[in-house]
Every structure is written in C-alpha cells, then in structure tokens.
Structure 1
C-alpha cells in the first residue's frame, strides 16, 4: 500500500461518520430531485396548485382574509403557501421543497430521539435512524412525489414527544399545538398524552389549553387579514365531514367487512367505528393502569405507537397517508426493540402499496391488505402487552423473593 493510500484510508477511518452522512444525504437528494419535477397527481392539480394560484391572484398574504374554495387545511399552512407565492419558482416546486426540507428535519429529530432513548451504540443507532427516515420510499413518495405535508406535522409530533419524555411539558404542548396547526391527524397522538397525564400525573389538564392557544397564535396573519377567530377550529370541524367513507384507500379493520363506494355504510357505521376506537383505547389504559406498569423509554414509545395505531386502525374515513406518524414511531420503536423490525417493515410496505394505488395506478387489493394490516396491528398489540405483562410479573417475582 502506498503512503498516499494509507493517508486516504486513515482519513476515511477517522471521519467515517461524516463521510457516511454526506454520502447518504447526497444520494437522498439526488433521488428526491430526480422524482420531484415530473411527478404530478390529482391532489396537486386539484387542490394544492389551485390554492397557490388563488392566493397569488389575491396578492399573497392579503388573500388570507377570505376562505379558499375546497381548502380544508388550517391557517398556518395557508400562511406558508401565501409566502411561497413570493418565491421565483412555481407552485409544485415550492410545495415539494417545503416538504423535503421537513423530511430531513424529521430525520434529525427521529435520530435524536433514538440517541436519547437507547443505551448502547447511541451514535450508530442515531445515524441509522436518520438514514432510514430520509431514504424511506414512503417518506420520499410522500414529499418529493406527492407534495404532501405529513413530514411537517409529524416532525412537530415527534419532537413534542421527545420534550414530553424529558419533562419539558410546556414546550411539548407548544410543539403539539404547532402540529395541530398543520394537520388534524395530530389528534392520533392525543390519547397517549391523555394517558400519560392520567398515569404519570406530571402536568396539569390546563396544559392541554396550550394547543388551541398555539393554533390561534399561528392563525394571526389570517385573523388580521379578516378571518374569524373561531375559523381556526371550524376548519377541522368541517373537515371531519368532508370524506363520509368508512375508509379511503387505507386498509383499516372495517375494510375487511365492506368497501362502500356509495358511502351508505359510513352513515350506518360511523358511531360504531368511533366508539369501538374509544373502547379499545380505554381497554388498553385500564390494563396498563391495573398492572401499574413502569413507563421507561422502551414502554414510552411502545404505548405511543400502539395508541396512535389504534386510532388509524379503527376510526372512520382513514386515508392512505394517515398512518405516517405511526410509521415514524415504528422506526424509533425498532431501535428500542429489534423484535418489532419485521412488523414495522410490513407496516411500511402495506402503506407503500396504498401509495402505489393513488400515485402510480397500481392495483393492490385493499381488502387483502386490510387483513394483513390488522394482523400486523394484532401482532404488535399482543407483543407490546406481553412485554408490559412480563415486566409486571418480573417485579412481582422479585417482591416474593
């Protein structure tokens, strides 16, 4: 080996972390910019670009004062869209660049979560978690191909959970309020916050008022432009009735029994689906409270994952992108418990199949995927509860001896 080769290899060895990250980020950027330009879809053409064009025609921020037709997103996202109209490039590029930026921010916060919660190989685990997020076909498809903002609200949900775990409660609720300011689907993490409040008794019920307060603060540009102060909440109240279907291209538990394109099943089953979700969540909480589980880092993520997945699995009107938060929590969970790896891989593959139906006109059978998805949910739920029971039995055994 020549002296030059030796120096090069020594440099690589001593800087392997930086070199690895640079290569991974470059590859992920090439993929994103390769797929972003030529990929249009129904959502972009029918909704996103129309919102952008409407705001631009009204003068950008000046146009926030009146409702935009067919728009069911909240004011913070609309303010960002209004700001994007001042940029020198077009609507599709603006939407996708915004979401892609948050892909990397999401990767960073997931990596930080993994770093904080794991005991061994913390740096390596964090780098791998970051890689999995930014290279995930699901994440790339959602932002660079679809132009959706799921990485934005999930970024705020994940970082809010990290703050909650570290007992930074006010900051946690501020960040959760920002998540709600972007998408109503942040509500899927609320059962965990309620359980944690009830079980740990570490913060006040009044902390939850921070969420609507932050939503109102984030809506100030729209309110100053002329919108009513209560419109922040009316947007989401109206959104719950926009898609009166049992499920929309997402394989929920109810898709096993029927897929009603004429929506009649929704009217009949809506209350049952909501109440079933509440029942399952309450059943879990009762079991965990009864067992007096000790919530360490492992159980913190396990419970957050299971409760949010329960919402997606049993609530009505679930869409293909609504499990995004569950899938990101699953990535963190894998680093806490490697036995969940096959479950999380299959979960992500199921969602990618539904993405394919919408984005690439594939023909994945949603009913078959529903059986598989419910099986994945059950395996995870049984395993998580067995792990909690195992810890409870271990503590009981130690007391006896």
Structure 2
C-alpha cells in the first residue's frame, strides 16, 4: 500500500483549515438568524464535499493536494456572500417576494421575472425556506460552479493521454477563476448553470454519446438564452461524425420537458415561449452594455443608426457561423477533436463579440473554454489570459461603476477599446489555430496532450 506523501498531508490539512475558516465570514453575515447562517455554512460545505467526491478517483495523494485550492476557493466564496448587487435588489429580490406572496410554486403561472421556467422552479422552491434568499441564490450558483469544474475536467480527460493531472488542474483552475467566483458567489448570477451543462454536453459529444449531449444542451438552453452562442458547434459535431442527426432531436425534447411542470401549474405556453423573445427586445436602447464587443470600437457617445448597426452585427455573427461551418464541411474528413474544441472557442468569443446588446457577463463561456483548452494544450495560454482580462474588466465596470481604462484617440473617447481588442485578438488567434489544425490533421484523429 502506497503511503501518503508529506506534501499531500500538508495541503490536505491546509485545505481543511481553509474550509473551517469559511465559517467565520458566514457567521458574520448580516442577514438571517444564527441558525440560518449555520445552514448556509453547511450548504457551502456540501458543495465542497461534492467537489471532493467527484475527484475521488484521483487517489488519496492528489485528492489531499486538491483540498488546498478547493478550500481556498470556498473560503473566498464565503467572503463574497454578503454583497448585494443592484440586479438582486431590483430584480431577484422582487421576484422572490412575488413568489412568496403568491404561494411559491402556485405563483409559477404568473408573469414573474424574465428568466425561463427552470430557474423559476428553483426560486419557488427556496421561497419556502427560512434562509435569506440572497444566500440561497448564491449557493445554488456555487453548486453549479462545482458542476462546471467537473465538466471542464471531463473535457480535459477526453484529450489528455495521462488525464489525471491535467483534468485535476482544470477542475481547480475553474473553481478559482476570478470571473467564475465573481459571477455566482459575489454577483448572484447563474452563468455556471448553462456553461457547466454545455461543457458536459461537449464532453459527451466528443465521447460519441450524442443523445446525452443533445439533451444536456437542451437543458442548458432552457436555463439561459446565451447557450445559442455555441449551439452551432453541434452542427460541427454532426459534420465530424461525433453525433448522429437523430440525436439532435433530443435538444428540443429536453427543452420541452422543462416546460411541463410550468404548464401543469397553469402557466400559459405563450408566456413560456415568449421569455427569450422578450429578453432579446430588452436590449434595445444601447448597442453595448459594458461588453468587450465590436461596438466598443465606436467612440463614446457616438450618434449612429442603432437599428442599422444592430442588424449589421447580427448579420456578421450569422456569417461567422456560416463561414466556420463551411470550412469544417470542406475539411470534414480532417476534423480532429482539438479542431472541434477550437471551433467552440471561436463561437463562444466571436458570436458575442459581433452581436449587439451584449452584457458584461456574456463571455463567461469563452472564459471557461479557454481555460480548459490550456489544460489540454498549455501553449494556448495567451487566449485564456486575453479573454479573462477582457471579461474581468467588464465585471469590474459593473462593480465599480466606472470604466477600467478610458482611451482618448484623435480627440475621441473609447471606454472599452482595449478589452475589445483582446477579444478580437483571441478570435483571430483561435481562427489561425483551427486553420493550421485542419491543414495538418487527417482522419479525424484527436490531438492529445503530452502533459502527465
């Protein structure tokens, strides 16, 4: 029997200590009773234990070593729980009050909020609990941070010849990624929900489990409209022979299944189907909402024909998808799994870069995909760094209510020009990598990482 190394014991002890220290900021939270705060801590520990459970196959040494970054990730999250964002005050708290006043699940039938019904099910469920809504909403997102990290680890495991260390590195890196921690534990947003499901769906597709992949993608779409950024990748999976066309039918089936409880509770079908239509219409008024998009190349305060510029962005995003799929069709016999991952990064960066009305959080999927790619092919670190810097800067604009770096060029002011240039550079970089991979790879073989 192999003995546990001293280094692993030290990391494990430090990780447990960090998890224990998480109790201090939780007990000092400003809302709820002491009993409610203890429940918050226990729920936080459950997510941490889930992380360890998912890593159990790594062996005792690596599991103990992983306790250190996991403990750090949850300690940081425990210190973020008290922050109250404007989004929570203006929207989520009001939705919770409406659900609680009108009977929890019985209120699902009412026109409450602008999120799709799967997230409303969760909000309705917590409306019965004697724990402050703010913390439960954040804990739900933290739980899916773990699901997200597991999805990234699964994706890396598919590529790496000796997958243990790269997949473990991806798991821990995603848990500690600044935008992942800020998104759920600090902001109370839920982008880990759809992104985690997308990562698992990608892993399933690459492992030729097409039905499961399409169903997970449909579930991701039921949570967040932003899933559309990467949906065209499943056409690429089909072109590459990773999934069959019949599998794609499970996408609408899974989405439809999530609507059934709401229908049974009396919510009109038209109200369910119109949620995403309403979200697309809410953006009108500003071409860009603190996002590192192509519209940041316009000077601050520039007077343009919003409708024409918005239509141009939509057409450009559509053309990007068409060109990408056309290239993959042309080289369909040479599509490697690495090429498919790179195509996913192109979609996750390029589509929100070109579309109008994008928000600060909309590069979240690009954040996590580029990190997973680095754990597979370390030479792709520049893409992950550029995307994270651009995305994190957009988050800080929201939190600090001022732009990170304002540039004046030719007498005109640009508020997020550098961030947009970073995203554009990532898009060009990924496109070049895809072209090189398609020209050099044959037979659909996947490139494997040499990292052990």
Q: Separation in 2 of the partners of 1:305 and 1:23? A: 30
Structure 1 segments of 4 or more deviating over 6 A? none
Give the structure-1-normalised TM-score: 0.89
More helix by share: 1
Counterparts of 2:207 and 2:158, CA distance in 1? 9
- 1:355–1:261 distance in 2 versus 1, CA, 3 Å: farther
Q: Give 1:139's match in structure 2, choosing from 180, 203, 209.
A: 180
Alpha-carbon separation, structure 2, partners of 1:261 and 1:95: 38
Q: Is the 8 A contact 2:342 2:430 kept in 1?
A: no
Greater mean deviation of Cα atoms: 9-18 or 235-244: 9-18
Compared CA separation, residues 382 and 82, structure 1 to 2 (3 A): same
Whether the 8 Å CA contact 1:114–1:126 is kept in 2: the answer is yes
In structure 1, the partner of 2:382 is 342
Listed as ranges, the matches of 1:94-109 within 5 Å are 94-109=136-151
**C-alpha distance in 2 between matches for 1:177 and 1:297:** 22
Distance 1:46 1:337, change over 3 A: same
* Equivalent residue number for residue 66 of structure 2: 21
Identify which of 43, 64, 76 aligns with 1:31. Answer: 76
Shift of the 174–390 alpha-carbon distance from structure 1 to 2, 3 Å rule, reads same
Is 1:215–1:232's contact at 8 Å kept on the other side of the alignment?
A: no
Q: Mapping of 1:25-174 within 5 angstroms?
A: 25-37=70-82, 39-68=83-112, 71-120=113-162, 122-174=163-215
Q: CA deviation at 1:192?
A: 0.8
Q: Give, in whole Å, the separation in 1 of the partners of 2:243 and 2:314.
A: 29
Q: Once the 2 structures are TM-superposed, how far is the Cα of residue 227 of structure 1 from its aligned partner?
A: 1.0
Counterpart of 2:64 in 1: which secondary structure? Answer: helix
Q: Give the CA deviation at 1:202.
A: 4.1
1:295-336: CA deviations, max 9, x gaps?
Answer: 333222111111232211111111111111111111121123
CA contact (8 A) 2:96 2:133 kept: yes
Task: Give distance in 2, aligned partners of 1:211 and 1:116.
Answer: 23
Name the CA distance, whole Å, in 2 between partners of 1:8 and 1:187. 46
Question: Which residue of structure 2 aligns with residue 369 of structure 1?
Answer: 419
CA RMSD of aligned residues (A): 2.4
Tell me, which stretches of 5 or more residues in structure 2 are unaligned? 11-58, 405-414, 446-452
Match status 1:329 vs 2:373: no
Q: 1:197: Cα distance to partner? A: 2.2
CA positional deviation for 1:362: 4.1
Give, in angstroms, the shift of residue 285 of structure 1: 2.3
TM-score when scaled to structure 2?
0.79
Partner of 1:182: 223
SS of structure 2 residue aligned to 1:374: helix
Is the 1:320–1:351 Cα contact (8 Å) retained in structure 2? yes
Distance 2:206 2:240 in 1: 14
How far is 1:9 from its partner?
A: 2.9
* Residues 228-267 of structure 1 aligned to structure 2 (within 5 Å): 228-244=268-284, 245-258=286-299, 265-267=305-307
Helix, strand or coil for the counterpart of 1:106? helix
State which drifts further: 338-347 or 180-189.
338-347
Mapping of 1:260-339 within 5 angstroms?
265-339=305-379
1:298–1:337 CA contact under 8 A, matched in 2: no
User: Relative to 1, partners in 2 of residues 1:56 and 1:275: Cα closer, same or farther, differing over 3 Å?
Assistant: same
**Helix, strand or coil: the match of 2:149?**
helix
1:391 equivalenced with 2:441 (yes/no): yes
In structure 2, how many angstroms separate the alpha carbons of the residues matched to 1:145 and 1:360?
13
For 1:43 and 1:379, the matched residues in 2 are separated by 34
Verify the 8 A CA contact 1:216 1:229 in the aligned structure 2.
Answer: no
Q: Does structure 1 retain, via aligned residues, the 8 Å contact 2:158–2:207?
A: no
Give the number of equivalent residue pairs. Answer: 383
Report the Cα distance in structure 2 between the residues aligned to 1:7 and 1:317, rounded to whole angstroms.
53
